[in-house]
Structure 1
Amino acid sequence: MAKKKQNAEPMEEELIPKDEGGGIVNAIWRFFSSMKLGIFLLIIIAVVSIVGTLMEPDPNTGEYMYYRTVWFRFLLFMLTMNLFICSVARFKGLLKAMEPPKTDFNEGFVKKLKYAATAKIKSTVSGAENTLESALKGHGYRVNSKRVDEKVFIAADKGRFGVWGSFISHIAFIVIVIGAIIGNLYGFNGFINALEGETFNLGDVQGIKNVDPSDYFDVRVDDFRVEMRPNGMPKDYFSDLTVIDDGDEVLKKTIEVNDPLKYKGIVFYQSSYGQVTDISGTFKTKSGETQEISTYEGGVVALPGTGFSLKVAKFIPDYDPQYGTESKSPNPNNPAVVYAIFQGQQSVAMDVAKLNTPVEVAGGTLEFTKYAVREYTGLQVKKDPGVPVVWLGCGLLVFGVTLSFVIQQRKIWAVISDEAGKAIVDIGGMTLKNKLAFEREFNRIVGTVKENK
């Protein structure tokens, strides 16, 4: 019984590494190179990623800290190792696929292929060989042939570069992960709320790291504005920023959502906005001494000479006792302040005071006299040196996927022999993708050979 001797040039499915024996090293290698492990990790990461989107983001940075946990990074590490080892294990087979098609096979192998045909034509073996080679080359095949004992063995292939698609896609994912690691190790993701007219230093950004203090610069918020929809909902919001470096105004830009300011590798994104109310007034002590006080909504200020402190808990534009501490309307018809008195860390009193209405607190007289509403812009501030690497990985991923789908590897084998002065052509082929198109092409090639009857 003749053995089925496969060609040495593998199809894509034959590039999967085989079990090569025991030992702890080989066991670890087989574990990480397992396709089942890769599929399992992809499913797990997909599920936990969906769950992660349901979590609340960090209120300061807007980040989903869920994805920065050790166990999530461990899953990514395992998937990266799986892809890397799979890629290494397949590399030798990919190089072999680039070699000329092998002719060491027999008629039994050809006849057992899914796509197979036999043609008996009035021609010499050499004539049939020329006809078949011409047909194969006409369809873009690379042809290799040899003559053994009055028989001609022909092996042909095309689309061999398509097998590199999955390899490049695996490498692309690894490059993307490396880019993310670079950004995590050498970048930062911070946040700051900056008032209109305020100038802040890069060092004031919450969460800043991996930046030399000598490279800090200032940013001034020249203006902030909101564009509203007809229904009163915000449509877009803008911040006019000026970068001041070493005392010089070096850059001005109006930023909005998805249109950030970039300077020295630091990116300022428009993230949020809000309002803060400045509150001022007077406090008159028992001795009759009057002191000016100034703070803001949420701020704390000491009441001079008392040992007490004042916290402005909330500003109410239109106070009505029936509405409690909620404003009756957004209009400043009856401004009031919700305040609390603290002795150390202990709250000792809490009440509401209308503007220009004195109240007795902490042994003195408190009167809120003025307020001013200022808008602030919420800026997400990022440095990510890994972005170019991530973009490189994305480009490789697109290239690899395109290569896999556009170029399909196809292989055809044939044995031509002589029988009573006629040429017998046994021809067969195989492919792993787009089999319907290959079948039509295979039939056209066979038809070309049969036309020489």
Structure 2
Amino acid sequence: MSQDVRTRPTESGDRESLDGLDDLDGGGSVSATDVLDRLWRFFISMRTGLVLILGLGLMSLIGTLLVQAPAGLSADPAAYTSWVASIHSKYGGWTPVFDRLSFFAIFTSIWFKAIMVLLTTSVLACSVNRAPRLWKIAFHPRTRMGETFFSHAPLSAAVLVPAEADETMDYVREVLKSHRFRTITDPDDNGLNLYADRFRWGPFGTVVAHISFVIILVGFFLSATTGFKNTPL
């Protein structure tokens, strides 16, 4: 005699199963903040900038080595097809492949424009990311250092002078100011601290260079997309 036995999970078992599904569902969700943070980290990454610059260089190399279609020729499909056929003898079986990849009009191709947009975004993101730190260094520099900093500094010296600390501080400060150093006095419990630097605006040169690079990229992009084309009559 056989007996058919059917079992049903207990209520607690059902709850555990549902909890597991809830965990899977919650673990797979990504908030908008996480997406924006990942995009931000992607664009400020030095590796991203290097890859995009290499990609732009590769595209430029292709445009230099391969014959480029005359400006405005792509607007006339029949004329462009005839032009591609005329260079078939030069590139052989690679001609349709290069044409499919827009290598004969590389500087107006979607690949070139996409790399330029991504590189421009990356350069701007890096500049924005560095600006607060550069501003802090320029206007609120760190004026106190521990003994470890001086003991490991490549250039350091200890000088014993027969004068009071305040008098020595004033003299050193005046000498530095005469050489156009910015000086900041920051005394603490351990003694007197004097910070001095020059050319505090120097680090902002990288920001200016980045902005100049962006202007060049934007100008090239606008010229390639909406610029004047000398089309034959």
Band of TM-score, shorter chain = 0.5 to 0.7
2:125 aligned with 1:85: yes
State the alpha-carbon separation in 2 of the partners of residues 25 and 60 from structure 1: 39
As a proportion of its length, which structure holds more helix?
2
Letter in 2 for 1:190: N
2:203 aligned with 1:163: yes
Q: Which residue of 2 aligns with 1:51?
A: 62
Could you tell me how far 1:159 is from its partner in structure 2? 0.9
As a proportion of its length, which structure holds more strand?
1
C-alpha RMSD of the superposition: 2.4
Instruction: Name the TM-score, length of structure 1 as normaliser.
Output: 0.35
* Deviation string, structure 1 residues 406-441 (Cα, Å, up to 9, x no partner): xxxxxxxxxxxxxxxxxxxxxxxxxxxxxxxxxxxx
Q: 1:111 aligns with which of 151, 160, 168?
A: 151
Q: Which residue of 1 aligns with 2:177?
A: 137
Letter in 2 for 1:27: R
State the alpha-carbon separation in 2 of the partners of residues 160 and 117 from structure 1: 24
SS at match of 1:117: coil
2:185 aligned with 1:174: no
State the alpha-carbon separation in 2 of the partners of residues 49 and 98 from structure 1: 38
Could you tell me how far 1:100 is from its partner in structure 2? 4.6
Letter in 2 for 1:83: V
Q: 2:39 aligns with which of 20, 24, 28?
A: 28
State the alpha-carbon separation in 2 of the partners of residues 60 and 134 from structure 1: 65
Q: Which residue of 1 aligns with 2:95?
A: none
* Identity across the alignment (%): 26
Q: Which residue of 2 aligns with 1:147?
A: 187
Structure 2 contact 185–192 (Cα < 8 Å) conserved: yes
Structure 1 contact 84–171 (Cα < 8 Å) conserved: yes
* Deviation string, structure 1 residues 89-141 (Cα, Å, up to 9, x no partner): 11111221221543233333233222211111211111221222123223321
Could you tell me how far 1:38 is from its partner in structure 2? 0.9
Count residues in correspondence. Answer: 172
SS at match of 2:47: helix
Select the structure of larger CA radius of gyration.
Answer: 1
* Deviation string, structure 1 residues 187-225 (Cα, Å, up to 9, x no partner): 331232xxxxxxxxxxxx4xxxxxxxxxxxxxxxxxxxx
Q: 1:114 to 1:145 in 2, by over 3 A?
A: same
Q: 1:59 to 1:84 in 2, by over 3 A?
A: closer
Letter in 1 for 2:203: V
Correspondence 1:214-253 to 2 at 5 A: none
Correspondence 1:36-75 to 2 at 5 A: 36-59=47-70, 65-75=105-115
Could you tell me how far 1:61 is from its partner in structure 2? 5.8
State the alpha-carbon separation in 2 of the partners of residues 27 and 72 from structure 1: 24
Structure 1 contact 32–85 (Cα < 8 Å) conserved: yes
Could you tell me how far 1:85 is from its partner in structure 2? 0.7
Letter in 1 for 2:50: I
Instruction: Name the TM-score, length of structure 2 as normaliser.
Output: 0.65
State the alpha-carbon separation in 1 of the partners of residues 190 and 133 from structure 2: 32
Q: 1:126 aligns with which of 166, 188, 202?
A: 166
* 5+ residue gaps, structure 2: 1-32, 75-103
Q: Which residue of 2 aligns with 1:95?
A: 135
SS at match of 1:127: helix
Structure 1 contact 101–144 (Cα < 8 Å) conserved: no
Could you tell me how far 1:171 is from its partner in structure 2? 1.1
Q: 2:223 aligns with which of 171, 183, 188?
A: 183
State the alpha-carbon separation in 2 of the partners of residues 104 and 166 from structure 1: 26
Q: 1:37 to 1:136 in 2, by over 3 A?
A: same
Could you tell me how far 1:59 is from its partner in structure 2? 4.2
